[in-house]
Structure 1
Amino acid sequence: MKSDIHATVSARIIAELEAGAAPWIKPWSATPGANTPCNAVTNRPYSGCNVVLLWMAQAAGYRTPRYLTFKQALDLGGHVRKGERGTKVYFVKQLQIREDGEDDATTRFVPMMREYTVFNVAQCDDLPDAVTAGKSLRVRNPDSRNDPADEFLRSTGADIREGHGEAFYVPSRDFISMPAFSAFKSMDHFYGTVLHELTHWTAHKSRLDRDLKSRFGSRNYAAEELIAELGAAFLCAEFGFDSDLRHAGYIAIWIDLLKADKRAFFTACSQASKAADYLRGLALAAPADVAA
């Protein structure tokens, strides 16, 4: 009998949450400055649920989040060590189905989930140095603002109003309220919070048009908060910030959501990736400052 991929992955995430830990928070201390999992051969970053699944694998203490398949290791002249267990990742492939009708033939595309097993470079021997090496670590002052992150925030065009008592996004007025930078216990907490609210900002009907009208405590509310948490985690990883939970109380409603809908985690990861990609697109499209 074919395994239910959605149920299997959801069960793993639920187990982590029931243990009191959000699995997208753990890996930071293991891989400071190089938190985004990528394929060690192509250097292409993983996305969606695969980011979280590989972060969970990263909790084993691997030095760098670089992964490759068994075949890729062999093609490079290396090999996966005997006895090592890989991590399953998932990709959606569009199958083209041809249907012959009475008058003509039509073609439709059906999404199919494909499963692959990847291994961390630390589980392999004899790989080229260029494949095993990760990014150099960033040296940061945790008490000062981060110029690249601030430029990223400005480039989105979002109305971010700092200096207020609470952090929240107001859809009806389309602005983000943030406490002053000095009110946060560290730079990481400030940027993690603003990136959480910025992910909510992408849900506006003029942008990605996600549902923000649901009442507090509903599963739709839980789903949107999960999207915002994951979106912030994905972006924090790129900037080298230590991700953290906005509110530990979210864990209970996420468990309820994932138990009620085995596809909810996949959907939230997909929406969070879309939000992060949307924000990256705004940053890339922003005009560069011209020196006088």
Structure 2
Amino acid sequence: MTSKPAKPSFRERVVAEILGHIEAGTAAWLKPWKPDVHRLAPHNPVTNATYRGINALWLEMQGHADPRWMTYRQAQGVDAQVRKGERGTPVEYWQWTETKPVLDEAGQPVRDAAGTPRRQTFSLERPRVFHATVFNASQIDGLEPFTAPAITDPAFAPIPRAEAVLAQGGVPIVHDQGDRAFYRPATDRIHLPDKSRFLGAEEYYATALHELGHASGSRTRLNRDLSGGFGSARYAEEELRAELA
């Protein structure tokens, strides 16, 4: 009987993802907006802890504009809820030390002058590793929207004809992104950076209309299959349709 291949470890997944980007060798995509120069590091708003090292790198690679991450239970603890179907992202924690009570020769706790049991911290010969699954705030309902620090830019000059096309499309546009633009089929909404972040009105409308092209494939419209993953033939076909639209 053929045994199943071993599931890659957390670190193997991170390394494979990084190598994949390197081996792809694609030129950097010139985004039609200014990156979020005030981008915050991934952090947990429940514990107020900032993710570091490989966890920070891995969470940044997920491409979410919102820097907030938390576990499923932590979301429930603040009266929020992870949306059905959302997939979490693993993170890794290491325990290098352990704290135990100090005992006397009889095995009884040693107490200080105030009567409090004394405790001692020591290094572990074999550090322990733990894994947890966290979700980005953009995957969770019930949280306050993340507000990025404002960036001062020249006034945006709307293009009436483009605005009319977007209005006729009937798809809500939410300006809640710092460095991404996408259409989300589950909520039938287009998510974009704020208009002030774009290099100009033409770049903004080109991006918005591209995402409107994707929105035409929703179940309530042309009912196209929008499930193609990045790099697949189906994904490429859908991107071509959006560009032609």
TM-score w.r.t. the length of structure 1 is 0.36
Higher relative contact order (CA 8 A, sep 6+): 1
Higher Cα Rg: structure 1 or 2?
A: 2
Relative to its length, the structure with more strand (as a share) is 2
TM-score (norm 2): 0.42
